Structure 1
Amino acid sequence: MLVHAHPDDESTGTGATMARYANDGATVSLVTCTSGELGEVVADDLAHLRGNPDALGEYRRGEIAEALRELGDIRHHWLGGPGRFRDSGMAGEDSNDSAECFAKADRDDVTRAMVEILRAERPHVVITYDETGGYGHPDHIAANRAVMQALEPAADSAYLPELGEPWDVPKVYWTTLPRSFLKDVEAAGVEGFEPFTVPDEDITAVLDGRDHHGRKLAALRTYRSQVNLDDGDFFAKMVLDPRFAVEHYLLVRGERGPGSGPYNWENDLFAGLD
């Protein structure tokens, strides 16, 4: 089960992982916390969505449905239901303080909604962002908090038994980037990534999803409001490189399974589970 903040985050950060496990026949579920109502609209023919958060949120809900069809058989949940928690905007924007935004949502309400999904899906592996949200986005940070604060209540039979039978998640991973990634981005003249990377030797799992790179790209191309892979900018070049389908994880809950290579990286997130 993967937990992401906005539509397109799942494809950008974990699309190859989702495609791999769906292809392998594993049950793959996704929780999306907001509809991304405050995202930038990059396609000029969708200009009517600019400045119209409700319309953009509805449009992005359609985009994610298409994207998940590209990735495989994915069970999808909106945290609390579609539109329940709203986009907080980028860090530092006035929208961060909106009473309706996900970053300011009542933590008990968020925990209840997440526990209900955890007990229904009963995942053996959960993936979300690290405590910085990957790059400091308030909604990504809130998604991390939503997962981490729901784990113990989900396993506690005394916590809201009407939400289902308790479930103790065996393994939790945070998405991450290896420090070696900096060589490529700095060579491209892009700076500021270092605080969001970890030393290669600290990474737990590396999933080589290059066989599923095409599916990851197909999913991203459905997000016409957010992504243009044909404009030649740094993001487009990075995404089109097959190495973009190699995805990295840090284990923060559970026992590490057997790995390989100089850093003993797992190549399967279910490694070590019975």
Structure 2
Amino acid sequence: MQIKKIIIIFIFLFTINVNAKEAVEVEYTLKVNEKVFNTLSDNNYKTYLGIENGEVINIKSDEKIEKLYILYEEKSSQGIITFNETTLDIGINGFLHEYIELKKEATDITIKYNNEVKISEIYAYSSGDVPKDVQIWKKHDKVDLMLFSTHSDDEQLFFAGLLPTYVNQDKIVHVVYLVDHANIKGIKNASRLHEQLNGLWHSGVNEYPTMGLIPDAYSESLQVAKKQAEDWGYKEEDILKEYVTIIRRLRPYVLVGHDEAGEYGHGQHIYNSYLVKKVLDYINNDNYITEGYKPYNVQKVYLHLYEDNKIILDIDKPLDKFNNKTAYDVAKESYKYHISQQGTWFTAWLNGNNNSYTNSSQITKYNPNYFGLYYTSVGNDINKNDLLENVKFITNDVTITGNTENIHIKRGTKEFRIVVSVSLVLIFISIVLLTKFVRRKK
């Protein structure tokens, strides 16, 4: 009877631990050099406040704050945040959406940046688990897949479903963009960068992407797209150097690029596909130097709609990590975060007229299911339905061939608490039962 009571108590404690409190948004007053501003709490990332070098932001609240979530306008800046006689560095990673965990509760916080910076929003939260739409970005040392997307939204359109498909397998996907949407023919507009991050986050991606280099401009040929980039100061060798460096730094197993014909004939898509193919000449070349990173060879390269060694990626099967939604469904939801693009023809192309498509096979042109194996060092595909087929995964110096899942459970998350709590309960019950057995033996 006593053992039953102990077990019930343990289960009660386990339930409390699993259902930890949720963080709530905290209202605050924000001043810059003693002047009150409401711009950073208007829940509109299209408005922003410019902070001059040396100006001090002060946040005060009647309620305790333990976490901040800052949305920058174009790019972040390094600085320091001070509270309770504690100082933390911020802006080190250059994240446009930056999550800051104070680890101590505070009601009076100051922020000072090293350089001029534009801030769109600052959200403050109490202790507890932050809402799911608060983006906690990471920079991994190694990734599994690297997707080269030209524009902010191509990853949800012509590569629709790819991201949630491999996130569902606990794979790390790094997206590299060619176009810098904060610079459209010299016009600064950061809205599409926010849309880009919001869409990636909804797709389950937590690996911070590589932002683009060249301004967005339409053309219909490789030559014109190259010339446009050169006119803005980016020669082919400059972009290739960036691509080689990223690949050598993150060492993906597989690269994925655009259709050689640019899907609907967009010159920048064509150029990006060309660059992904060209990069193979350099990444494993000992004579091509990138400071700090050694030569590295990927195992496979896929191109969208490539005619040789075709594979079909199934994005219409339910995904357990996305509440049994299909990867196609998740892509459609993620594309909705690209608010500025909803009035374009891409919307009906992806969703069907009046959102009539229920299956990705209904997309008749430039279907996102179809890829071809452009390069392989591990043999041709047999099953022809998986970008990671035949890949030799390196895990703790052990090579594993096939599609193995990397299981990552972040400390402090609900999943982590469940694992720990269940383990503790099982250990405790085992000890109790063992003790009872020993007593009986005596």
**TM-score, reference length from structure 2:** 0.46
Q: Which residue of 2 aligns with 1:204?
A: 310
- Give the distance between the partners of 1:272 and 1:215, measured in 2 at CA: 27
- Check 1:166–1:227 CA distance in 2 against 1; reply closer, same or farther (3 A cut): same
Q: Are 1:268 and 2:386 an aligned pair?
A: yes
Out of 54, 61, 68, the position equivalent to 2:187 is: 54
Distance 1:16 1:75 in 2: 17
- Across the two proteins, how many residue pairs are aligned to each other? 226
1:33 and 1:234 mapped to 2: Cα distance? 23
Identify the match of residue 197 of structure 2 among 59, 62, 65: 65
The corresponding residue for 2:341 is 226
In the alignment, which residue of structure 2 is the partner of 1:257?
381
What is the rounded CA distance, in whole Å, between the counterparts of 1:250 and 1:230 in structure 2?
Answer: 26
In 2, Cα distance between equivalents of 1:248 and 1:162: 36
Deviation per residue, 1:73-109 (Å, 9 max, x gap) = 242433xxx45311232438xx85545568x831110
Partner Cα distance (1:18, 1:83) in 2: 19
* Structure 2 CA distance for partners of 1:101 and 1:243, relative to 1, 3 Å: farther
Structure 1 unaligned spans of 5+: 40-51, 178-197, 260-265
Seen in structure 2, the aligned counterparts of structure 1 residues 224 and 26 have a Cα distance that, compared at 3 Å, is: same
Q: What letter corresponds to residue 170 of structure 1 in structure 2?
A: Q
Task: State how far apart, in whole Å, the 2-side matches of 1:66 and 1:88 are.
Answer: 23
- Which residue does 1:77 correspond to in 2? 209
Contact persistence 1:2–1:127 (CA under 8 A): yes
1:194 aligned residue = none
Conserved? CA contact 1:228–1:236, under 8 Å: no
Partner of 2:148: 3
How many angstroms apart in 2 are the aligned matches of 1:235 and 1:107? 32
Assess, with a 3 A threshold, how the Cα gap between structure 1 residues 101 and 170 changes in structure 2: closer, same or farther. farther
Any conservation in 2 of the 1:35–1:60 contact (CA below 8 Å)?
Answer: no
Task: Choose the corresponding residue for 2:284, options 130, 155, 161.
Answer: 155
Alignment match, 2:133:
none
The two structures, once aligned, show a CA RMSD in angstroms of 3.0
Alignment match, 2:239: 110
- Once the two structures are superposed, residues 179-233 of structure 1 have per-residue CA deviations (whole angstroms, 9 ceiling, x without a partner) of xxxxxxxxxxxxxxxxxxx5xxx55211111222221111100011112499995
Report the equivalent of 2:360. 244
Displacement, 1:71?
0.7
Is the contact made by 1:37 and 1:87 (CA closer than 8 Å) also made in structure 2? no
User: What SS class does the counterpart of residue 240 from structure 2 fall into?
Assistant: helix
Q: Deviations over 1:25-75 (max 9, x none)?
A: 011110011034698xxxxxxxxxxxx86343x111111000000111242
Q: Structure 2 vs 1, CA of residues 155 and 234 (structure 1 numbering), >3 Å: closer, same or farther?
A: closer
> What's the counterpart of residue 47 of structure 1?
none
Which residue does 2:167 correspond to in 1? 22
The verdict on how the C-alpha distance between 1:12 and 1:230 changes in structure 2, with shifts beyond 3 A counting, is: closer
> Structure 1 or 2: larger strand share?
2
226, 233, 252: which is aligned to 1:123? 252
3-state DSSP of counterpart to 2:218: coil
Give the TM-score normalised by the residue count of structure 1. 0.72
Question: Quick check: 1:221–1:228 contact (8 Å CA) kept in 2?
Answer: no
Structure 2 residue runs of 5 or longer lacking an equivalent are: 1-145, 317-325, 362-367, 392-400, 402-442
> Structure 1 pair 258/125, CA: closer, same or farther in 2 (3 Å)?
same
Q: Whose relative contact order is higher, 1 or 2, with alpha carbons under 8 Å and at least 6 apart?
A: 1
**1:152 to 1:229, Cα distance in 2 relative to 1, 3 A:** closer
**Structure having the higher Rg:** 2
> Matched residues, percent identical?
23
Q: Does 1:139 align with 2:268?
A: yes
- 1:252 is paired with a residue whose SS is strand
Alpha-carbon contact 1:115-1:163 (below 8 Å) kept? no
Sort the Cα spacing of 1:205 and 1:212 in 2 relative to 1 into closer, same or farther, 3 A.
same
User: Cα 1:234–1:214, aligned 2, differ >3 Å: closer, same or farther?
Assistant: closer
Supply the AA of the counterpart residue of 2:275. A
- Cα offsets for 1:223-261 (capped at 9, x unmatched): 1111249999555417752332761111110121221xx
Secondary structure of 1:77 counterpart: coil
**Contact (CA 8 Å) 1:38, 1:88: kept in 2 or not?**
no
Give SS of 2:256's match: strand
What is the DSSP-based 3-state SS (H/G/I as helix, E as strand, rest coil) of the residue aligned with 1:205?
A: strand
Counterpart-to-counterpart distance in 2, 1:218 and 1:226:
13
Q: Aligned match of 1:91 in 211, 215, 220?
A: 220
Change over 3 Å in CA distance of 1:144–1:101 after alignment to 2: farther
Q: Secondary structure at the match of 2:298?
A: coil
